[in-house]
Chains A and B, each alone.
Chain A
Amino acid sequence: MKMSEKMIWAAWERILRALVTVVLIGFLVPILVVVAVSFEPKTYLSFPPSGFSVQWYVQFIHNGDYTSALMNSILIGVAAASLATIAGICGALGVIRAAAPGSTLVGILSVAPAVLPQIVLAIGLYPISVWLGLQGTLLAVIFAHAVIGLPFPFITVCGALTAYSSRLEIASMSLGANYFQTFRHVTFPMIRPAVIAGFIFAFAASLDELVLAIFLSSPATRTLPLLLWEQLNFQITPELAAAATVILVVTSILIFAATVLPRLSKRG
């Protein structure tokens, strides 16, 4: 290869890298803008903010709507992610370890909710939650969110189970442990990081979900995205930006937990 050609390629690569760096940093801009405008001292949004004030945060904390919506979201998220994780672990064990009859169907069922547009599920779930007398209750949203959360623990646990040999479990059982003892002392410690990651992904999916919440919740069971959504359609205020910033901080802590906790538990 000629020298000049090499130099042209190296220059190309450098330009490409610079462009990609700009794109990656640009990715943060929208998020930073929301944080910036939340410190606006006036009652309407402007960019750059006309000053600095935390009044919208004070108002946010004293706004009972946000507190109850946040509580609803956390309750629904934890319950839905727990159901999804239990179903996901059992399903993954059945598909990967036992190759039980119906594995293909279970595999499709467990992954489909991740790609199915939520509006389709919402239209179908509404009449069912009315028939079951669940409409407007927390349970309606919990079951719906458990379905859309299911793919995450199912996929992560399937991945963890294929990563080590089933001979470990066979050894455990040949030494006299029953299924539950084997799961408790052999399988679970091996898949724990995947279980934690799957649970957090399912929780995050619930925390972000809006369409099912629009159809299935009542004003008393309103979730955080739903409240933000209603406010956005009504009026845009710096208080919304403050609320968004608080949610950002909470989610950042979650990401940190999702990436660091599994590693720690692997070591421990």
Chain B
Amino acid sequence: MKSRSFLLFVPIALLAAPFFLAPMTVIGIESFRGKAGLMDEYVKVFSDTGIRAVLMDTFYVAMMVTLVSLLVGYPVAYVLSRLKGPMATIGVFLIILPFWVSTVIRSFAWMILLGRNGPVNVFMEYIGLIADPIRFIDNGIGLMIAMTYIMIPFMVIPLLNGLRAIDPNLLRAAAVLGANPTRQFLIVTLPMSLPHVAVGCAIVFVTSLGFFVTPSLLGGDLVMVSMLIQVQANRLLDWPLASALAIVVLLLTIIVFALLRGSQLASRRKGRAVTGIQS
């Protein structure tokens, strides 16, 4: 059985070699084929002020979206993890439902909601919060609201799994030893959920870096790196520059997941040191 078991990998190899590994190789090679020398495109990526601004904006938007998703997602996951029976099912269903709606449609929904005469502006004018409609679509705020809306399920699901896995006996033990609910949360729930916070943040951050649909529709003047790559390749036909940008995004993705893996390994080692248990 062992000798021929590698045959099971043939379908994946047939799919991944030409349509996943080869494309990665192509952009790697293409990125070094700038007109003025091997590293030309990479020098351009990091020295051109326009490109640097796009990379900084992308980073900023991804950070903000990750932060707000965590601030909203953590309480949601916490409350959902403590619900039982049909309420828990309904709650999880409500979180997952928008997740299934096409990203194009969800971005379209926010174009309506945040438009100059959209419901959000009309409502805020009505209650007297603002005098003139806010142009959400131009200032990047609309983009971040829509992206956060789209990314929250990616944050809530790993958090919810993590919080549900915490043994309730630990909380009971803390209570018996005199910890009040706030302290129980701070010394048991919060530290035990941190690895899952890291997973959620990594997924949200990396996905946000690569966002294309929402920034194109709601970004206004704000350009994110995926849009820049698309324009360079599709309209300006500057494939070496587009490839170099793609490699930068790819490396960022790998770095984020390497950091995540590193922190997981480190915390596992620490856990063993504290408890003396080999897991």
Residue numbers of A with Cβ under 8 A of B are 1, 5, 9, 16-17, 19-20, 23-25, 27-31, 33-34, 37, 45-48, 83-84, 86-88, 90-91, 93-94, 98-102, 106, 109-110, 112-113, 115-121, 123-128, 132, 143-144, 146-147, 150, 204, 207-208, 210-211, 214-215, 225, 228-229, 232-233, 236, 240-241, 244, 247-248, 251-252, 254-255
- Report whether A116 and B250 are in contact in the complex, using a CB–CB cutoff of 8 Å: yes
Give the residues in chain A near B131, CB-CB below 8 Å. none
The CA of A84 and the CA of B11, in the complex, are separated in Å by 9
What is the CA–CA distance of A112 and B20 in the complex, to the nearest angstrom? Answer: 10
User: Quick check: is B1 within 8 A (CB to CB) of the other chain?
Assistant: yes
How many A-B pairs with Cβ below 8 Å?
235
Interchain nearest-CB distance for B158 vs A (Å): 13
With CB as the reference atom, state the residue of chain B lying closest to A142. B19
Cross-chain contact B117 with A30 (CB below 8 angstroms): no
Alpha-carbon separation in the docked complex, A86 to B101 (Å): 26
Give the shortest distance, in Å, between A82 (CB) and chain B (any CB).
Answer: 11
Interface residue tally for chain B (C-beta within 8 Å): 81
Q: Could you list some 9 contacts between A and B, CB below 8 A?
A: A19-B75, A27-B97, A109-B16, A119-B210, A128-B19, A225-B102, A232-B108, A232-B217, A240-B108
B1 and A210 within 8 A (CB) = no
Query: How far is B246's CA from A147's CA once the two chains are assembled, in angstroms?
Result: 18
A128 touches B253 (CB 8 A): no
- Of B21-29, B40-48, B162-170, B263-271, the stretch lying at the interface with chain A is B21-29
Q: Tell me, yes or no, whether B76 is within 8 Å of chain A by CB.
A: yes
Q: A33-B119, A128-B19, A215-B233 are in contact. List 19 more A-B contacts (CB 8 A).
A: A19-B75, A27-B98, A30-B106, A31-B106, A33-B113, A34-B108, A34-B112, A45-B115, A87-B12, A98-B8, A99-B5, A117-B250, A119-B226, A119-B229, A211-B212, A214-B230, A228-B104, A244-B102, A255-B96
- B73-86 near A? 1/0 per residue, CB < 8 Å: 00110111000000
Cβ contacts B26-39/A at 8 Å (1 or 0 each): 11001000000000
A106 to chain B, nearest CB (A): 5
B185: nearest chain-A partner, CB-CB: A9
Q: Which residues of B contact A (CB under 8 A)?
A: 1-2, 5-6, 8-12, 14-16, 18-27, 30, 72, 75-76, 78-80, 91, 94-98, 100-106, 108-113, 115, 117-119, 122, 149, 152, 175, 180-182, 203, 206-207, 209-210, 212-213, 216-217, 226, 229-230, 233-234, 239, 242-243, 246, 249-250, 253, 257
